[in-house]
Chain A
C-alpha cells in the first residue's frame, strides 16, 4: 500500500494550493460572483435603479449570481453542428492559463505559490495567453458574429498588450525588480506606494487592464448591440459561465497585480492573514473602480480605441518609463 501522507505532502504544496485556493480559483470564483453583483448594483445606482434584489432581499440580492451560476450548471451545453475543433477546449485552456498566473501572484506576505525572480513577467505572460484562445473560440464557433468578435479581439490585443507590458515595465524599473514580492518590499522600503510615485504608470496600467478584461468602454470584443456576444456567441450552459467568468477572473488577477505594484500590496501589515486580507480588499477596490466605470462611459468605436491606445497612451507609457527611471535614479542612488 502506498503511504498517503508523503504523497499528500507532495501534492498539497503551495505551488498547487495557491492557484487552486488563495489567491487562485476558489477565491476567484467567490470574487467573480461578488464583483458581478457589485457591477450590477453600482450600474443600477448610477441609473437610480435598485438592481438585483429579489434573490435574497435581506442582503440586497447578493445571491443573485449564485442563482445565475446554478442555472448555467444545469443548462444543456449545446455544441453547434458546425463548430470546429477546440470549441470546448479553448475556454477550459483559457481558464487554466489564467489560473496559472495565480501561481506566481502573491496573495499576501509569504502567500506565494511559486517563488521566482520574474513573477511579474510570468503572470503577465500567462494572462496574455488567453487572447489567442479567444481567437480560437471565435474560429471554432464558425459563426460570423464570433469571427467578427475574434477579429476585434486580435486588433485590440495587439494594442493594449504593449501598453500593459510597458506600464508594468515602468513599475519594474521604478522598483528595480521583476519580482512582485520584491516590488511590495521596495514600496515598504521607500515608504510610498507606487500610485503616488508614478501615477502615470498606475493610470496606464488601469486603462490597459480595462481593455484586457473587456470592461466598458473597451467592451468592443463582445459589443452586445452589434455582434451579439462576439467570440462567446455560441456558448451555452456551463461553457458560457466559464467564458463569461473568464474576463472577471482575469480582472481579478490583474487587480491583484495592480494592488501589488501600485497600492503597496499587503502593506501596512506583515502578518500573513491580515496582509492577505488587506491585499484582497485593495484588489476588490480596484475591481469596484473598474466596474463603476460601466456607469460612466459608452462603448468606444474600434478605430477610436486603437487610435487612443497607440497614438495617445503608448507615448505616455514611454514617458512613464522615463519617469520611473528618474525616480529609481534619485531614490535608489
Chain B
C-alpha cells in the first residue's frame, strides 16, 4: 500500500454517511421555498434608476439634438416634423442599448428611463418610432408603468442568506 493510496483512503468519506448526508441535503433544499420569479403572473418591484425603455416628452424638448449626437448605438435620429421649425428625435428600439447617455445629456429632462423593458413586437418596423409616435408611445408607457406599480401582484426581491434571492409579495390580496 503506497503512502498516496493510504492518504486517499483516509480522506474518502464513509460511504453510508456520505449517502445519508447527500439525501439530507436534498431533503432540506426541497423544504425551502422556490426562488422562482413567477414572471408574467407577478410584477417585480424595480429600483429607482432602472434603465428600461426610454420615454420622450415632446412638450419639454428643445430640439437641440444632443441625444442624437451622443447615442453610441445610433438609436436616436433627428426627424423633420411637419409644422415644427426644429428637428425632433426619433427612437429606434431595435438599436437602443439602454445605456442612458441620452437621458443624462438632455438639458431639459425631456428624456427619462421607464422601468419597463419587456416589450414584444410582431414586426421590426413597429419598433422604429418617429418623434410624434415616440411621444405618444411614451405617454402610454408611463401610464403602464404607474399601472404596474399599483398591481396587486407586486413582488420585491429580498436577499436571503439561505436561498439567495427570494421574492416577497408586497400586498396581500
Q: Do A44 and B34 touch (CB < 8 A)?
A: yes
> When A and B form their complex, what is the total count of cross-chain residue pairs whose Cβ atoms lie within 8 Å?
33
A48 to B32 alpha-carbon distance, docked (Å): 7
A292 to B23 alpha-carbon distance, docked (Å): 9
| A contact residues around B2 at 8 Å (CB) | none
Known: A42-B30, A295-B30. A50 touches B23 (CB 8 A): no
| A contact residues around B30 at 8 Å (CB) | 42, 45-46, 292, 295
Within B9-45, the residues touching A (CB, 8 Å) are 22-23, 25-26, 29-30, 32-36, 38
Interface: B163 (CB within 8 A): yes
| A contact residues around B23 at 8 Å (CB) | 293, 296
| A contact residues around B35 at 8 Å (CB) | 48-49
A297 to B22 alpha-carbon distance, docked (Å): 8
A180 to B38 alpha-carbon distance, docked (Å): 48
Within A102-146, the residues touching B (CB, 8 Å) are none
Interface centre among A48, A49, A50 (most CB of B within 10 A): A48
A180 to B34 alpha-carbon distance, docked (Å): 42
Q: Do A49 and B34 touch (CB < 8 A)?
A: yes
Q: Do A46 and B29 touch (CB < 8 A)?
A: yes
Minimum distance in angstroms from B65 CB to a CB of chain A: 47
Q: Do A48 and B34 touch (CB < 8 A)?
A: yes
Within A289-303, the residues touching B (CB, 8 Å) are 292-293, 295-297
Minimum distance in angstroms from A307 CB to a CB of chain B: 13
Q: Do A296 and B38 touch (CB < 8 A)?
A: no
A42 to B30 alpha-carbon distance, docked (Å): 7
Q: Do A48 and B26 touch (CB < 8 A)?
A: no
| A contact residues around B25 at 8 Å (CB) | 296
Q: Do A295 and B26 touch (CB < 8 A)?
A: yes
A49 to B37 alpha-carbon distance, docked (Å): 9
Within A2-53, the residues touching B (CB, 8 Å) are 42, 44-50
A45 to B29 alpha-carbon distance, docked (Å): 7
Chain A residue with Cβ nearest B37: A50
Chain A residue with Cβ nearest B28: A46
Chain B residue with Cβ nearest A289: B23
Q: Do B22 and A45 touch (CB < 8 A)?
A: no
Q: Do B36 and A49 touch (CB < 8 A)?
A: yes
Minimum distance in angstroms from B39 CB to a CB of chain A: 11
Q: Closest 4 A-B residue pairs measured CB to CB?
A: A45-B30, A296-B26, A50-B36, A46-B30
The residues of B with any CB-CB pair to A shorter than 8 Å are 22-23, 25-26, 29-30, 32-36, 38, 163
The residues of A with any CB-CB pair to B shorter than 8 Å are 42, 44-50, 292-293, 295-297
Q: A42-B30, A47-B29, A292-B26 are in contact. List 13 more A-B contacts (CB 8 A).
A: A45-B29, A45-B34, A46-B26, A48-B32, A48-B36, A48-B163, A49-B35, A50-B36, A293-B23, A295-B26, A296-B22, A296-B25, A296-B26
